[in-house]
Amino acid sequence: MPRLDIDEARAYDGDAFSANGVFRTARTKVVYACFEPGQFIPVHAPDSDVVVDVRSGRGLVRADESDHRVGPGDAVAVEAGTERGILADCGERLEALLVTAPPPTDAEHDPVRRGLRNDEFEPPVSGGKPDEASADGAEGSR
């Protein structure tokens, strides 16, 4: 059984949130996400369930139209196809273990890359879901 080394995965990026892989199979992806104050994962709706386990700091997890304030020890589960995003909006760093199943596709991360590029937590919507039509090669979820 592999041990997840959170201390080794802890890393911050001054430009955007940092998502450092700690475990992956064909069925599951686990990353340790680190956010400086004000950083975020833009709202998007991949076909994956996600569990957000907050390890330190405070922030907000968006699930559809509901905002959930989170802090250390909180865990939030969001079903596949649900619009979701994470925001470190409390003036402090936020760290969370994110478990997704199945792993999102590269195309499903296009809205994340676009939102980061445009500095938009809530990208413009089209037909009730974030617009996922365009693709680019920008790094979004590392």
Structural domains of the chain, with CATH: 1-91 (2.60.120.10)
Phi/psi at 20 (5° precision): -105, 120
Express each pLDDT in 52-92 by its tens digit: 999 999 999 999 999 999 999 999 999 999 999 999 999 99
pTM over 0.95: no
Residue 115 has phi, psi (to 5 degrees) of -60, -40
**Pair type for strands 59-63 and 125-126:** unpaired
Query: How confident is residue 1, by pLDDT bands cut at 50, 70 and 90?
Result: low
Cβ atoms of residues 28 and 100 within 8 Å? yes
Residue 101 burial (CB count, 10 A): 15
In a 13 Å sphere around the CA of 114, the CA atoms on its Cβ side amount to 19
What is the pLDDT at residue 123? 77
